[in-house]
Structure 1
């Protein structure tokens, strides 16, 4: 572990080293291996570091067969001289905060309620843990968050220690370690003892704050979402900005925001209901007007930009009023034709067959029953031409 500088000191932001090898992997991606490195490779739930080595960006860092590979944007010009590496410190410290925060939150849930952490993901925006419980109460989440932030306020030391498998018996570990050698413990004295290979700050105070955002049931577990450190400040800023914009749009103070949104939604529902009623009235009037123009029991028309739902509703109104009617509707909607064929209860001709005979003219698809069918396709012919095909088939 001597060549992994991030274990000696996770606060190292720049370093010098020699290049051992520069080569390409099996996929043709260029990488180098250094004599020593401060770049943390992906592992233990923590994403890799990024930064630069000389004049090349470090894109990915992985440990493969015991060597830490630094995948670079471009090859280095001189691999014989010492190279300078620089860590993206903002990213590194963010992950240090989140990872230490995860230890604290997981320990809090286990100490308070016995809920063990069985899954963990450190994302770019949020951190999640999967708790071994099907249900999580709001009061439980609040207590775990309160204890977590109390541990932060106390600014307890975060210690790291390399131990043997035999020495593990001296520690009350939160979970069993997966490795049997090179075992690294991350310890918050009298609170959490856990095997971990990630990077962490030197004290809990540097985590700054922890905020649980939400949780949901995942199969028989509960997935908890939270943020730590600078992400708490960022989330607060984003949410405050949205809230301020809403107060202006709704002309309501922050404390009355919930009532204002509820009123807005209720007004929207009422307006939508009135609009539906108005549309119903218009369609009823239109159905009556079309029935008055019925010839040879056929009610037919070409519409512009009428939805298939409106065509269907209008057709049903007509065949409910006139049991001998046959309805043939075509609507030209941009570059498509929509068709509806319907019959009253006294008529026996199959609308499904009629639809099947005309759909090939427009490379269309459709379906339905003998009494009511619908379809659509490309507007390669006009709506009037399509209606003529339909009328000719009926006549």
Structure 2
């Protein structure tokens, strides 16, 4: 017997053990003659709690049998005392009922159907059958959902047959046949659902849409209900207070302060890049030999690529061989001026086997890397001999 359907507010119960065992993953489970533990299903996570002193960490329904997965190895008595983690259960009830209300608001007022629902540990989401929802529609749907919450309408459940379904304006087709459980918010939402919900909309507390994203031609709406709204508000308030202090700006002017800071940062990045280019140009001018060979330590590869190109560009009969040593590997970069006939792609491949390396490129420029099987100086010396 599923006691969570008989009394959704039941937090403790007595039951008899009818079976126990371990599944294919070696997880220990117990089966009871009746239970108040809700198993995972319908987008809603399972309950947790205690059977005597054993912690129930997962609940599944397999072939009509509810398995309670428990920790520990101590044997359970034939009669057990069950205790539901009520904070977790009521949170799930708030989120699930809030989803019904929010989905009904989108469909009843804007003809936007919900195609899927996910109840996560921190936030929930629904996927709407549309690739775009305007900010105005989001705001109106949220307001209408919360108005329904404040009306404190009853949330009713009813078991009906397939034939009796015709009497109700269902929001979507039911996926089961036979004995069907309806969750009803009068004149608002009629939906086949096997989850747990509070007995009135007022118990949902508040519904808050957080943000949206596109998802395979649909729109995913992220939201929270009940106590999760307070938690989100507290977290965001802490962040705002921290930013207010760090940016010396009141909350209402934080966006403007952030824009100014970002613009300043872009300008600084541009200035730094210009200065780096000037330094590289100066460094490139120092290499006058026709064969430029050098070893570096922890230089950014992109920087060495730019330096090598600066050295060979506009010069005659110029070849550059760079070896860069990092904590984990050796990196090679080579280039030549336009009038040189040396093939850089073949040249770099001639030494890569020495370090179990990989790489390549074009006749005028190539790069690669490999293991530190020798010193950077020895690798450069071997490389020069290939010329």
TM tier, smaller = over 0.9
TM-score by length of 2: 0.97
Matched with 2:46 is: 48
Determine the C-alpha separation between the residues in 2 that align with 1:218 and 1:8.
Answer: 38
Q: 2:81 aligns with which of 66, 81, 84?
A: 84
290 and 46 in structure 1: CA distance in 2 versus 1, 3 angstrom threshold? same
Indicate conservation of the 8 Å contact 1:308/1:339, yes or no: no
Map 1:193-208 → 2, pairs under 5 A: 193-208=190-205
Map 1:119-134 → 2, pairs under 5 A: 119-134=116-131
Determine the C-alpha separation between the residues in 2 that align with 1:218 and 1:348.
Answer: 53
Q: 1:313 aligns with which of 306, 314, 319?
A: 306
For structure 1, which segment, 190-199 or 324-333, has the greater mean C-alpha deviation from structure 2 after superposition?
324-333
Determine the C-alpha separation between the residues in 2 that align with 1:320 and 1:386.
Answer: 25
23 and 146 in structure 1: CA distance in 2 versus 1, 3 angstrom threshold? same
Kindly provide the CA deviation profile for residues 104-144 of structure 1, in whole angstroms up to 9, marking residues without a partner as x.
Answer: 00100011111111111111111111111222111011111
Matched with 1:340 is: 333
| CA shift for structure 1 position 335 | 3.6
Matched with 2:7 is: 9
- 1:303 paired with 2:316, answer no
Determine the C-alpha separation between the residues in 2 that align with 1:251 and 1:104.
Answer: 41
Determine the C-alpha separation between the residues in 2 that align with 1:189 and 1:76.
Answer: 48
Matched with 1:29 is: 27
Determine the C-alpha separation between the residues in 2 that align with 1:40 and 1:335.
Answer: 51
Determine the C-alpha separation between the residues in 2 that align with 1:24 and 1:353.
Answer: 61
Determine the C-alpha separation between the residues in 2 that align with 1:341 and 1:180.
Answer: 71
For structure 1, which segment, 303-312 or 348-357, has the greater mean C-alpha deviation from structure 2 after superposition?
303-312
Matched with 2:68 is: 70
Kindly provide the CA deviation profile for residues 74-133 of structure 1, in whole angstroms up to 9, marking residues without a partner as x.
Answer: 3452433x2100000010000000000000001000111111111111111111111112
Determine the C-alpha separation between the residues in 1 that align with 2:48 and 2:240.
Answer: 34
- Secondary structure (helix, strand or coil) at the match of 1:281 reads helix
Matched with 1:152 is: 149
- Secondary structure (helix, strand or coil) at the match of 1:130 reads strand
Aligned length: 387
- 1:390 paired with 2:383, answer yes
TM-score by length of 1: 0.95
Unaligned runs of 5+ in 2: none
Determine the C-alpha separation between the residues in 2 that align with 1:336 and 1:23.
Answer: 52
- Secondary structure (helix, strand or coil) at the match of 1:334 reads coil
Indicate conservation of the 8 Å contact 1:342/1:373, yes or no: yes
Indicate conservation of the 8 Å contact 1:157/1:203, yes or no: yes
- Secondary structure (helix, strand or coil) at the match of 1:176 reads coil
For structure 1, which segment, 70-79 or 166-175, has the greater mean C-alpha deviation from structure 2 after superposition?
70-79
Indicate conservation of the 8 Å contact 1:362/1:378, yes or no: yes
Determine the C-alpha separation between the residues in 2 that align with 1:361 and 1:77.
Answer: 63
Q: 2:216 aligns with which of 214, 219, 223?
A: 219
261 and 53 in structure 1: CA distance in 2 versus 1, 3 angstrom threshold? same
Matched with 2:16 is: 18
- Secondary structure (helix, strand or coil) at the match of 2:360 reads strand
- 1:185 paired with 2:178, answer no
Map 1:255-274 → 2, pairs under 5 A: 255-274=252-271
Matched with 1:286 is: 283
Indicate conservation of the 8 Å contact 1:154/1:205, yes or no: yes
